[in-house]
Chains A and B, each alone.
Chain A
Amino acid sequence: MRTSTGAVRRKGNRRARVVDNEGEDRINALPNYVFSNILTFLPIENVVATSSLSRRWRPVWILVRNLCFNDEVAIGTIVVPGVRLAAFQHASNLIEGVAKTPHIILFSGVVLENWFEFSDHELGWLETENMPPCLTQHVTKIKMEAFTNGKSDL
């Protein structure tokens, strides 16, 4: 957001804005791991909502390590002994995945690509209709299944 001279909608005085001489918010120059650190303290709904803050913020939530899906959010779940698991519909393609760790992943192919671009998470197991090629090296066992509901992706 630009300087206070710009068309900034303000609600009271609540903001953590620090504007430099050029009027840019320096807060947004903080590295992504700081933002993902903030997100680790937030409920899953808030975490996912940050993907619509701006383009710069779109991939930040993917970095969150302890993403916890709750029952209301989960679209479907699969029981795998010894691991927590959640299913989550991010886009039109539904992919269900289980991480080796208690961290859970389940996204569209598009977001999964981002996931491995930005993070060192490893998927232990995954079900997807269309597997992005970049994933094969990260996934130890793959099962392809049709989950798509036919809508186009963003």
Chain B
Amino acid sequence: MASSSSSSSCSSSSEKKITLKSSDGEALNVEKNVALEFEPAKGFLEDNSEEADDEAIVVPLPNVSAAVLSELIPYVKQRLELSAKPVQKKLIKAFDDQFTRHLSDDKLGELMLAANYLGVNYLLDVLCDVTADRIKNKSVEYVREFLGIQNDFTPEEEAELRAQCPWAFEGVDQD
């Protein structure tokens, strides 16, 4: 997984590379401009700016696995390339749609955590939109299941909450 991103060579060879170290200890080489999109990496690089050789820098990202980083890096790279051009918003939208369409629910959750941790807000927004799509018009029970929420209300409390606004619980899809 890691090698697929580090071996991609469509960018110019003169581009500086940074090494990111995932939570599971894998080293991934990325272009510096991609690494700078990740807030913790940006902070780390700023703190170590006296280091002459970027190639020698290893940025630890202890909250993101190599599998997730390998999905994020090509996404951020392409998104940066798109944003650099005067492209229409709908092209970026189409790119985001393509990226998110086939994500499993598990992967969606993983990416949301990673995007939040890494401060990639444009991706986080897209993932929130996708999550909303998947829980739209679903029952409370379904949403709890989907997001892994522990129901800590007593049955009486829950019944009272529902009774306060019964219209909010009507007409949901079958689970």
Interface residue ranges, A against B (CB under 8 Å): 1-2, 8-11, 13-19, 25-31, 34, 37-46, 48-57, 72-73, 89-91, 154
Contacts and interface: CB of A to CB of B under 8 A. Distances in A.
A40 B136 CA distance: 11
B150 interface: yes
How many B residues are at the interface, by size bracket? 35 or more
B144 A54 contact: yes
A1 B157 contact: no
Contacts of A27: 109, 112-113, 147-148
Nearest to B164: A91
Interface residues of B: mostly helix, strand, loop or mixed? Answer: helix
Given A15-B105, A26-B113, A45-B171, A52 B161 contact: yes
B106 A18 contact: yes
A50 B144 CA distance: 9
A108 to B, nearest CB: 9
A37 B125 contact: yes
A30 B157 contact: no
Given A18-B113, A45-B170, A154-B157, A54 B136 contact: no
